[in-house]
Amino acid sequence: MTASDKMSRIDHVMLPVADIERAIAFYSDAFGMAVIERRDDGDRRFAHVGYGPRGEHVTIELIEQRNVAVIVGNGHFCLRLPELSEWVATRELAGQVFAKPHGLHDGRILRAWIRDSDGHLVEVADVAS
């Protein structure tokens, strides 16, 4: 049995953030995510944001670590959204700056890239692709 045989899905993706309230506002505004869970252990503040309860849905775990500078890596994650063209138009009207040109890529998949409030790259792809 391989590791992939034992795994069923991704539970969450963790992102370090400089200001947890600002990060929550970004994911709520840009993607309609809700805060699923919050906690504070004194040195760090945590918030899971997403579209449903942990354990049933993948979440993004935002972590603000006090007195530690945020280091943004070169990675990214991808969200699939329905009606991506409408989402792009709405974000453009709101003044969203896109990190890369959006449109059809590989001649078939509609994609857009934005940076979150801490500079993490978020790829957004059409749910139908």
Q: CA-based angle 18:20:22, to the nearest 5?
A: 90
Are 59 and 80 within one domain? no
Tell me the pLDDT band of 86, cut-offs 50, 70 and 90.
very high
Q: Tell me, what CATH number does 103's domain have?
A: 3.30.720.110
Are 95 and 109 within one domain? yes
At 20-70, the pLDDT tens digits run 999 999 999 999 999 999 999 999 999 999 999 988 999 999 999 988 887
DSSP letter at 83? S
Are 77 and 115 within one domain? yes
| Strand ranges across the sheet with 12-16 | 12-16, 59-65, 44-50, 34-40
Q: How far apart are CA 54 and CA 73, in angstroms?
A: 25
The predicted structure's pLDDT at residue 6 = 58
Helices (H), ranges, the chain: 3-6, 20-31, 84-93
Range of the domain at 123: 72-129
Q: Say whether pLDDT at 84 is over 80.
A: yes
Are 59 and 89 within one domain? no
The predicted structure's pLDDT at residue 110 = 87
Contact 58, 100 (CB under 8 A): no
The predicted structure's pLDDT at residue 101 = 82
Are 29 and 89 within one domain? no
Are 67 and 89 within one domain? no
Listed residues 71, 94, 119: the one ending a domain: 71
The predicted structure's pLDDT at residue 88 = 93
The predicted structure's pLDDT at residue 120 = 92
Are 17 and 55 within one domain? yes
The predicted structure's pLDDT at residue 73 = 72
Are 80 and 64 within one domain? no
The predicted structure's pLDDT at residue 2 = 57
As for how many domains the chain has, the answer is 2
Q: How far apart are CA 7 and CA 86, in angstroms?
A: 34
